[in-house]
């Protein structure tokens, strides 16, 4: 099946710094990718839709200046958490619809962000 990778898998940073998370579709092209945030024992909360070659679409309540999304190519989307604070600590997961069967989404392994 299709594979989506994320890097890094785990990151610890200090308050006030920025962190970039990469999401790659390894064996298929993804014009659209999605970014989610998940708290322990909680659901996946959709943050934004990343669109190749255009601006991302953010869900209500998500600060676009804080969570910068760039979809520079058909296989790469990045999420940058700017001026991170401890409350940004979370599990961030990206996904991409499969190319053939669009109802199925492939998820990356997630990135555990801890802000100290």
Partner 1 sequence: GQSLEQPSEVTAVEGAIVQINCTYQTSGFYGLSWYQQHDGGAPTFLSYNALDGLEETGRFSSFLSRSDSYGYLLLQELQMKDSASYFCAVRDLGGKLIFGQGTELSVKP
The residues that touch partner 1, with contacts defined as CB under 8 A, are 4, 32, 34, 41-46, 49, 93, 95, 97, 102-110
Beta carbon nearer to partner 1, 19 or 93: 93
Q: How far is the CB of 83 from partner 1 (least distance, A)?
A: 27
Q: How far is the CB of 68 from partner 1 (least distance, A)?
A: 20
Q: How many CB atoms lie within 10 A of CB 76?
A: 16
Beta carbon nearer to partner 1, 38 or 82: 38
Spatial contact of 58 and 48, defined as CB atoms under 8 Å apart: yes
Q: Single out the residue of 108, 84, 91 nearest to residue 37, CA to CA.
A: 91
* Widest CA span in the chain: 42
Q: How far is the CB of 86 from partner 1 (least distance, A)?
A: 20
Pairwise CA distance, residues 8 & 53, whole Å:
24
Q: How far is the CB of 53 from partner 1 (least distance, A)?
A: 16
Q: 19 to each of 16, 68, 88, 114, how far by Cα in Å?
A: 10, 10, 11, 10
Beta carbon nearer to partner 1, 16 or 109: 109
Spatial contact of 86 and 15, defined as CB atoms under 8 Å apart: yes
Beta carbon nearer to partner 1, 82 or 105: 105
């Amino acid at each position: 099946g299709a594979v989506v990778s994320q890097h890094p898998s785990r990151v610890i940073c200090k308050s006030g710094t920025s962190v970039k998370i990469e999401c790659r579709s390894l064996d298929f092209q993804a014009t659209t990718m999605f970014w989610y945030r998940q708290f322990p024992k909680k659901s996946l909360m959709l943050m934004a839709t990343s669109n190749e070659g255009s601006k991302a679409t953010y869900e209500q309540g998500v600060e676009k200046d804080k969570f910068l999304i760039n979809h520079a190519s058909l296989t790469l989307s990045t999420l940058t958490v700017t001026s991170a604070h401890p409350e940004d600590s979370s599990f961030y997961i990206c996904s991409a619809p499969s190319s053939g069967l669009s109802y199925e989404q492939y998820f990356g392994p997630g990135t555990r962000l801890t802000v100290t």
